Amino acid sequence: MAASSFLTASHAQLARAISGRGTVAAPSQPDRLALSSGGHRLILRLNPKAAELKQRSRRFVKIRSAVIDTADGKPVTEELMERSVNTIRFLAVDAVEKANSGHPGLPMGCAPLGHILFDEFMRFNPKNPYWFNRDRFLLSAGHGCMLHYALLYLTGYDSVKDEDLKAFRQWQSKTPGHPESFETPGIEVTTGPLGQGIANAVGLALAEKHLAARFNKPDAEIIDHYTYVILGDGCQMEGVSNEACSLAGHWGLGKLIAFYDDNRITIDGDTEITFTEDVNARFEALGWHTIWVKNGNTGYNEIRAAIKEAKAVKDKPSLIKVTTTIGYGSPNKANSYSAHGSALGSEEVDATRKNLGWPYDPFHVPEDVKSHWSRHISNGAAHESEWNAKFAEYEKKHKEDATILKDIISGDLPAEWEKALPVYTPESPADATRNLSQQCLNALAKVLPGLIGGSADLASSNMTLLKMYSNFQNSTPQEKNIRFGVREHGMGAICNGIAHHSPGLIPYCATFFVFTDYMRASIRLAALSQARVIFVMTHDSIGLGEDGPTHQPIEHLMSFRMMPNILILRPADGNETAGAYKVAVLSQKRPSILALSRQKLPQLSGTSFEGVEKGGYIISDNSSDNKPDLILIGSGSELEIAAKAGEELRKDGKRVRVVSLVSWELFEEQSDDYKESVLPKAVSARISIEAGSTFGWEKYIGSKGKAIGIDRFGASAPAGKIYKEFGLTAENVIAAAKSL
């Protein structure tokens, strides 16, 4: 090779070139990079993007200053800072290596950011992960969770011990492969699918702004905390993040600070192949304040300055784009997708240790690093103690507000709150359960201080406005009607964040039942993470009529019945709707879906609150000794049809039991004796009727029963006509009964 040669290089070529052994230098020309090895000198002429990459792809560079002035006024030496950051990196590397599974690249690249944020800016108490006024942190790029676990470990959280790091991704460990709030105290929200975490963070920040507006006083700022979140390129690409971030900008959530880990690598390779937009420009258009930290690898002071700047902006959320190198420090895998989703491998781990000057055994934390981080235990206790003293003074001056706030913090419900729910009789006028739902919501709003929610641009159709309140907006954050706009996915994820903020906050959100297809991931995560969100889903069947099959849910009831840890409640009238809300409010560890009708339904004789709590119960029966000739089972709008058919069959001398199966999940939780008292095994003549898929009904009707439902898409026509054409009529039930 000649002493000096020229060639052009792509991102990938550059990454491979600088990962080899040798030295790297920057010639005077900004678009050139010099590489020397074995007496040869290679000059690369970089394409524009690679030139930009040069700054962030270089090998380990020492911090210049001997002593670093940190944001919290605790100066540290450059040596300690480097060791501390590298401790985070290698805890992640070693855990992934031991598991032979995981994502080391993000923790290696984001270690400086994580260090500075947790060590210098965030307020929390490691010994009480649930202290109310703590700052919240979420990792939206949840695959990089070893970053978070390492930080929890170093700061002294009891939930992540040395043995937990070594059990990363193993059975029943406290360090699962993605952050799970129900497994690991200190993890705020269960994030996993990309984009969910940033949307959850919007919900947390909304909750902080709402509660601060309601309870802070000129003489007492009792609620004052930030929500921080790290998101990656994948989160930016997922639509849910844009839905939620659009709302965050609109609402002016000034205490939301998001760090965009700009490492330009996804599983398939360089983002150059899929994602070349100007993210900061987009966020500016969404109403965010934006900052760019160009050297997230070693630019500690840049990171500090960016966080300070973001905290100084009070009227809008902030996005800090932090350009990092994925897998920073790995000689052969840094800045490549191979550092993203798999262990580095023992040889590369050894090479990374040499490259970063890390002579320690796996999972070792140097004593000076331990000592440095240990102060967070006493600092955290002091933060909470100071806040408790402030709250005690607040309670003396503002006793009523303090009592309400304590209930929101603890999750305690007011005494006899359920008595506020309306009661109906058969003489009450027929009405759609969506309208009855609004009556229940407005009754609950008077007695449940934590109730807050809204609709995806359908409030006037799914009847979810709280009439005694105005809209939650940037200028009126104390109000309770949240206008989500046409953003179902973002709406669900934001409500999950609200639910995780405080046990006493009860978020609800609403759309047409068919549009749960847009928000299924958020609903599933609510169920997985045990978040009490009430999903108010109206227009629940072909009964919505003329809008046709695109808007008529057929398979949805059954698909959600298959989902663990969620209640599906399909009430038939006013009493069942009120009972459904009682159950939903009391279900603190799981979400609920209320499937509600558009069409008017009569108030049926025999329905009750208590029956709903059982999930399935008898509304009428002319048999004795638990020996009916026939059992008719219905839910929601079809219970009326079953009841009418039962009346007609009794005229022919039949002993007929009519059962409301309003919630399969609740019914399955009852004792065997109770279930036998409702659905005796000896009675095989059973008919179910429901305006949806018949799949699964064999569980309750047995092999000899008959399921009346819909196993095709719906049609556009008036509701009555569609019901008749699909055989959802009392006449068809009677005919089926006679065939049995």
pLDDT at position 50 is 44
Give me 123's structure tokens: 């307020």
pLDDT at position 499 is 98
Out of 1-5, 341-345, 449-453, which region has the weakest mean confidence (pLDDT)? 1-5
Q: What's domain 97-379's superfamily in CATH?
A: Thiamin diphosphate (ThDP)-binding fold, Pyr/PP domains (3.40.50.970)
pLDDT digits 0-9 by tens, 693-733: 999 999 999 999 999 999 999 999 999 999 999 999 999 99
pLDDT at position 72 is 77
| pLDDT at 36 > cutoff 60 | no
| pLDDT at 248 > cutoff 50 | yes
The set of residues, in sequence order, having a beta carbon less than 8 Å from that of 387 and lying 6+ positions away, is 131, 132, 133, 222
The residue type found at 674 is Y
| pLDDT at 27 > cutoff 70 | no
Distance from C-alpha of 682 to C-alpha of 356, rounded to nearest angstrom = 73
pLDDT at position 689 is 98
Instruction: Return residue ranges of the chain for CATH 3.40.50.970.
Output: 97-379, 417-595
Q: Would you give the DSSP letter of residue 491?
A: H
Distance from C-alpha of 383 to C-alpha of 377, rounded to nearest angstrom = 10
Q: What is the mean pLDDT of residues 169-194?
A: 96
Out of 62-71, 127-136, 256-265, which region has the weakest mean confidence (pLDDT)? 62-71
| pLDDT at 271 > cutoff 80 | yes
pLDDT at position 603 is 98
The set of residues, in sequence order, having a beta carbon less than 8 Å from that of 601 and lying 6+ positions away, is 430, 431, 432, 433, 572, 573, 637, 640
| pLDDT at 236 > cutoff 60 | yes
Using pLDDT thresholds of 50, 70 and 90, give the confidence band for residue 69.
confident
- Strand partners for 34: 25, 43
**C-alpha 347: how far from its chain's center?**
38
Using pLDDT thresholds of 50, 70 and 90, give the confidence band for residue 58.
very low
The set of residues, in sequence order, having a beta carbon less than 8 Å from that of 145 and lying 6+ positions away, is 139, 175, 176, 177, 178, 179
pLDDT at position 68 is 76
Point out the annotated binding site for thiamine diphosphate. Answer: 143, 192-194, 234, 263, 340, 515
| In 502-638, alpha helices (H) | 520-528, 556-561, 574-586, 609-614
**Which one of 3.50.50.60, 3.30.1240.10, 1.10.20.10, 3.40.50.920 gives the CATH number of domain 616-738?**
3.40.50.920
Are the beta carbons of 476 and 449 closer than 8 angstroms? no
The b/e string for 132-160 (b: 16+ C-beta within 10 A; e otherwise) is: bbbbbbbbbbbbbbbbbbbbbbbbbbebb
Q: List, by residue number, the catalytic residues.
A: 488
Distance from C-alpha of 241 to C-alpha of 258, rounded to nearest angstrom = 11
Using pLDDT thresholds of 50, 70 and 90, give the confidence band for residue 67.
confident
| pLDDT > 90 fraction of the chain, expressed in percent and rounded | 88
Q: What is the mean pLDDT of residues 342-359?
A: 97
CATH 3.40.190.10 for domain 417-595, yes or no, is: no
Distance from C-alpha of 271 to C-alpha of 286, rounded to nearest angstrom = 22
Q: What is the mean pLDDT of residues 261-290?
A: 96
Point out the annotated binding site for substrate. Answer: 103, 340, 434, 461, 539, 547, 551, 598
Point out the annotated binding site for Mg(2+). Answer: 233, 263, 265
pLDDT digits 0-9 by tens, 547-583: 999 999 999 999 999 999 999 999 999 999 999 999 9
Residue carrying the six token digits 């070792």: 364
pLDDT at position 553 is 97
Pairing of strands 265-266, 76-77: unpaired
pTM: 0.91
Q: What is the mean pLDDT of residues 305-324?
A: 98
| In 286-366, alpha helices (H) | 300-312, 346-355
Out of 33-37, 82-86, 471-475, which region has the weakest mean confidence (pLDDT)? 33-37
Q: What is the mean pLDDT of residues 292-317?
A: 97
| pLDDT at 260 > cutoff 50 | yes
What integer best gives the mean pLDDT of the chain?
Answer: 92
Using pLDDT thresholds of 50, 70 and 90, give the confidence band for residue 71.
confident
**Sign of the alpha-carbon torsion through 418, 421, 426, 430:** negative
Point out the annotated binding site. Answer: 103, 143, 192-194, 233-234, 263, 265, 340, 434, 461, 515, 539, 547, 551, 598
The b/e string for 688-720 (b: 16+ C-beta within 10 A; e otherwise) is: bbbbbbbebbeebbeeebbbbbbeeebeeeebe
Using pLDDT thresholds of 50, 70 and 90, give the confidence band for residue 74.
confident
